[in-house]
Chains A and B, each alone.
Chain A
Amino acid sequence: SQQGEEDPQALSIQEGENATMNCSYKTSINNLQWYRQNSGRGLVHLILIRSNEREKHSGRLRVTLDTSKKSSSLLITASRAADTASYFCATVETGANNLFFGTGTRLTVIP
């Protein structure tokens, strides 16, 4: 079964607004990663946060991790039309190397 569950399943916002996506998972993890998938393309790695980290930034991306609640959030600030894509969280269980992907959030940024 999949580790991550994203919420919401779909999100539509105006350009310039912030977008927040949430991910919940089930077991102890080594790290959690976020990926982006443009329509018809492969996934692209965005950011990785380790289990001993609580927050991480990369450009307009901000990721938080709460291991006590087994949840993570991805914030995209000042969204652009080019951010339109599906976003997936993926977890690496403690002691494992494989990623378990969630079902994704479909983000639409309206120009």
Chain B
Amino acid sequence: NAGVTQTPKFRVLKTGQSMTLLCAQDMNHEYMYWYRQDPGMGLRLIHYSVGEGTTAKGEVPDGYNVSRLKKQNFLLGLESAAPSQTSVYFCASSYLGGYSRTSGSSYNEQFFGPGTRLTVL
């Protein structure tokens, strides 16, 4: 049981380049999230998904797109990277619908991946 995994771990881009960050979870969670973490800012929600085929904007969605074609995967895309997108990106997932005796998780508890450190030059 790998939990939440993220690919890649590190990446350096030039301004204007594009890339896709991949998040995968094997816990059969309905909800998935993408956050960015900047020094002194805590985590800010970029986009999230409440189920396969659905996505929604979070607090800081501009410059990013997402897709949830499969329940276990959530992709974050940067079409034209900018230096302001230099950050650490975290993916998370959560169980929907209350306490799960199987997983031991509680409503809205989020499970995080290890992060992707992205630098845009």
Contacts and interface: CB of A to CB of B under 8 A. Distances in A.
A35 B35 CA distance: 14
Contacts of B109: 33, 45, 48
B110 interface: yes
A30 B107 CA distance: 10
Contacts of B45: 98-100
B31 interface: yes
Nearest to A92: B108
A17 B50 CA distance: 42
Contact of A88 (B31, B42, B44, B50): B42
Contacts of A45: 109-111
B108 A31 contact: yes
A96 to B, nearest CB: 9
Interface residues of A, number: 24
A48 B108 contact: yes
Interface stretch (B14-22, B64-72, B75-83, B112-120): B112-120
Contacts of A101: 35, 42-44
Interface string A88-111: 101010000111111110000000
Interface residues of chain B: helix, strand, loop or mixed (majority): strand
B74 interface: no
B106 interface: yes
B61 interface: no
B23 to A, nearest CB: 11
A21 to B, nearest CB: 14
Contact of B115 (A41, A100, A102, A104): A41
A43 interface: yes
Contact of B112 (A4, A31, A44, A97): A44
Contacts of A102: 42
Interface string B83-121: 000000010101010000000001111111111000000
Contacts of B106: 48
Interface of B: 4, 31, 33, 35, 40-45, 48, 50, 58-59, 90, 92, 94, 96, 106-115
